[in-house]
Chain A
Amino acid sequence: MLEIKDLRAKVAGADNEILKGLSLAINPGEVHAIMGPNGSGKSTLANVLAGRTNYEVTGGTVAFEGKNLLDLPPEERAREGVFLAFQYPVELPGVNNAYFLRTALNSVRKHQGLEELDAVDFLQLLRAKMKLVELPEALITRAVNEGFSGGEKKRNEILQMAVLDPKLAILDETDSGLDIDALRIVAEGVNRLKNEKHAVLVITHYQRLLEYLVPDFVHVLFQGRIVKSGGRDLALDLEKRGYAWIEEEYSAARA
Chain B
Amino acid sequence: MSKNYEVEQLANQEYKWGFVTDIEADSVPPGLSEDVIRVISAKKKEPEFMLEWRLRSYRHWLTMVEPEWANVSYPKIDYNSIIYYSAPKPKKQLSSLDEVDADILETFNKLGISLEEQKRLSGVAVDAVFDSVSVATTFKSELAKHGIIFCSFSEAVQNHPDLVKKYLGTVVPYTDNFFAALNSAVFTDGSFCFIPKGVRCPMELSTYFRINSAGTGQFERTLIVAEEGASVSYLEGCTAPMRDENQLHAAVVELVALDHAQIKYSTVQNWYPGDKEGKGGIYNFVTKRGKAMRGAKLSWTQVETGSAITWKYPSCILQGDDSVGEFYSVALTNNYQQADTGTKMIHIGKNTRSTIISKGISAGKGQNTYRGLVKIMKGAENARNYSQCDSLLLGDKCGAHTFPYIEVRNSTAQMEHEATTSKIGEDQLFYMQQRGISAEDAVSMIVNGFCREVFRELPMEFAVEAQKLLGVSLEGSVG
Contacts and interface: CB of A to CB of B under 8 A. Distances in A.
Interface in B433-470: 433-439, 441, 445-446, 448-452
A79 B446 CA distance: 20
12 contacts: A52-B430, A78-B433, A78-B434, A83-B434, A86-B431, A90-B428, A92-B431, A93-B449, A95-B446, A103-B437, A104-B432, A107-B437
A70 to B, nearest CB: 15
Nearest to A54: B426
Contact of B438 (A75, A86, A89, A100): A75
B425 A94 contact: no
A94 B452 contact: yes
B427 interface: yes
Contact of B435 (A51, A78, A99, A111): A78
A75 B439 contact: yes
Name the 3 nearest CB pairs between A and B, nearest first: A94-B449, A104-B435, A78-B436
Contact of A143 (B436, B439, B441, B449): B449
Contacts of A103: 437, 441, 445
Nearest to A107: B436
A73 B478 CA distance: 14
Contacts of A51: 433-434
Contacts of A143: 449
Nearest to A82: B434
Contact of A92 (B434, B438, B446): B446
Interface of B: 422, 425-428, 430-439, 441, 445-446, 448-452
A108 interface: yes
B436 A79 contact: yes
Contacts of B431: 86, 89-90, 92
Contacts of A100: 432, 435, 437, 445
A74 interface: yes
Contacts of A86: 431, 434
A111 B446 contact: no
A111 B437 CA distance: 11
B220 to A, nearest CB: 34
Contacts of B425: 90
Contacts of B448: 94
A74 B434 contact: yes
A84 interface: yes
Given A94-B446, A94-B451, A107-B436, 4 more contacts: A74-B430, A74-B434, A90-B425, A160-B435
A226 interface: no
A89 B428 CA distance: 9
A107 B426 contact: no
A162 to B, nearest CB: 13
B253 to A, nearest CB: 30
Contacts of B437: 75, 100, 103-104, 107
Nearest to A105: B436
A84 B434 contact: yes
Name the residue among B431, B437, B445 with the largest chain A CB count within 10 angstroms: B431
B433 A74 contact: yes
A75 B449 contact: no
A68 interface: no
Contacts of A77: 434
A200 interface: no
Contacts of B433: 51, 73-75, 78
A164 interface: yes
A27 interface: no
A53 B436 contact: no
Nearest to B452: A94
Contacts of A92: 428, 431-432, 445-446, 449
A111 B448 CA distance: 24
B204 to A, nearest CB: 26
Contact of A90 (B427, B436, B438, B439): B427
Contacts of B439: 75
Interface in A2-30: none
Name the residue among B435, B439, B445, B448 with the largest chain A CB count within 10 angstroms: B435
Given A53-B430, A54-B426, A108 B446 contact: no
Name the residue among A73, A77, A78 with the largest chain B CB count within 10 angstroms: A78
Interface in A46-74: 50-54, 73-74
A107 B448 CA distance: 18
Nearest to A73: B433
A217 B140 CA distance: 77
A176 interface: no
A94 B422 CA distance: 13
A95 B435 contact: no
B255 to A, nearest CB: 30
A93 B428 CA distance: 10
B63 to A, nearest CB: 48
A96 interface: yes
Nearest to A80: B436
A145 B432 CA distance: 12
B436 to A, nearest CB: 4
Contacts of B451: 94
Given A53-B430, A90-B428, A95-B445, A75 B436 contact: yes
A133 B450 CA distance: 29
Nearest to A86: B431
Contacts of B434: 50-51, 74-75, 77-78, 83-84, 86
A84 B427 CA distance: 13
A77 B433 CA distance: 9
A97 B438 CA distance: 17
Contacts of A94: 446, 448-452
